[in-house]
A and B are shown apart, each in its own frame.
Chain A
Amino acid sequence: KQEVTQIPAALSVPEGENLVLNCSFTDSAIYNLQWFRQDPGKGLTSLLLIQSSQREQTSGRLNASLDKSSGRSTLYIAASQPGDSATYLCAVRGISSGSARQLTFGSGTQLTVLP
């Protein structure tokens, strides 16, 4: 059964810092990996999706990498801003059939960027 772990659970940084959020997964047989953002009282917004054959994806100040063999992904946020404050979740989609093909989420990292 796939398990997804995100460390740290919470992170507080001053504005302008570059930071890295970590995600690890136990089963490397994945179809893709996604990073989501969740603001308080709101649903999830997809930030980046990395296919299993890809190494990284970039969108603006965000860069996500994937090392499938080691079961790890990182989300790099450059020049952090207070508006980046949110919970960041990673999720992997398995390649097996049935429930293993569904998204398995980590518990998230709660990021606070201080002005």
Chain B
Amino acid sequence: EAGVAQSPRYKIIEKRQSVAFWCNPISGHATLYWYQQILGQGPKLLIQFQNNGVVDDSQLPKDRFSAERLKGVDSTLKIQPAKLEDSAVYLCASSNNHGGANVLTFGAGSRLTVL
């Protein structure tokens, strides 16, 4: 079984620029998550999709972050404009169960550095 694919692995941008991250979940996984992990901290959920619908985006800074999962498979997370404090690893995860005891499978992450 192929894992969760993410790209790019690394991105360096200047503040106020924009960036986009892509995630391809495990085939058949209906639920997709985007997490932000700042250095030295645990991951924080940004947004959860069930198929192509948003389940929870309460911690997504909507003035600058956006995410979509148009066909219920791949997802894109965008930051525009970026701030210094957005420097973090952006992790994508997927699962085949909406909440409950399901186990999430994480991708390797996309490391963003904002200068």
Question: Per DSSP, are chain B's interface residues mostly helix, strand or loop, or mixed?
Answer: loop
**B109 at interface (Cβ–Cβ under 8 A)?**
yes
Question: Of all chain A residues, which has the CB nearest B59?
Answer: A99
**Chain A contacts for B107, CB-based, 8 A:** 43
Cβ of B11 under 8 Å from chain A: no
Which of A42, A46, A105 sits near B44, CB closer than 8 Å? A105
* Contact flag A42-B109 (CB < 8 Å), given A105-B42, A108-B42: yes
Interface size class for chain A? 20 to 34
B4→A43 contact, CB < 8 A: yes
Whether, in the assembled complex, B43 has its beta carbon less than 8 Å from a beta carbon of chain A, the answer is yes
A41 within 8 A of B: yes
Which residues of the partner chain A approach B41 to less than 8 Å between Cβ atoms? 107
The complex places the Cα of A101 from the Cα of B55 at a distance, in Å, of 11
A4 to B44, CA, bound (A): 12
Q: Say yes or no: A102 contacts B106, CB within 8 Å.
A: no
CB distance from B63 to the nearest CB of A (A): 19
Chain B residues with CB under 8 Å of chain A are 4, 40-45, 48, 56, 58-59, 91, 93, 99-101, 103-109, 111
Interface residues of A (CB under 8 A from B): 4, 31-32, 34, 41-46, 49, 51, 89, 91, 93, 98-99, 101-103, 105-108
Q: List 13 A-B contacts (CB under 8 A).
A: A31-B101, A34-B103, A41-B109, A42-B109, A43-B106, A44-B91, A44-B93, A46-B104, A51-B101, A101-B99, A102-B48, A103-B43, A105-B44
